[in-house]
Structure 1
Amino acid sequence: MISLELRIVGSYVASRQDAIEAVNLVADEQVRPKFTLDQLVNLPDVFQRMQAGQARTRVVLDCR
């Protein structure tokens, strides 16, 4: 069985309208962002996981 080699390519440069459309896609649940939520107190562990290549998604830190 041959797997598909798909890539998602993004851009750091986008217009304000592009950003609005992206937010609307997430709000309408047409796109689900992948991230891990962690506490700020765990920052040293988060960095360690990132350096070890164990962070499979973006990490969002809860500062509350």
Structure 2
Amino acid sequence: MSPLEEAGNDQLPAQEGAEAEMARYGITRVPADIFHYQDYRYAKLSDALAQAKRDANTAPAVFE
């Protein structure tokens, strides 16, 4: 039986304790976007775009 099945809900028991601690100290959770480009992760879209553009500018030219 998995920890989720044992807990009988969507949260692991350890998460329940973390939720209680968060509530006790007034800590909130907010969703955050992560942008993936190649093998890297960026917290800001502008950083991912800047790297992609740098890569596009250094790509070798294809000759016909």
Band of TM-score, shorter chain:
under 0.3
Q: Which has the higher strand share?
A: 1
Relative contact order, higher structure (CA 8 A, sep 6+):
1
Q: Which has the larger radius of gyration?
A: 2
Q: Which has the higher helix share?
A: 2
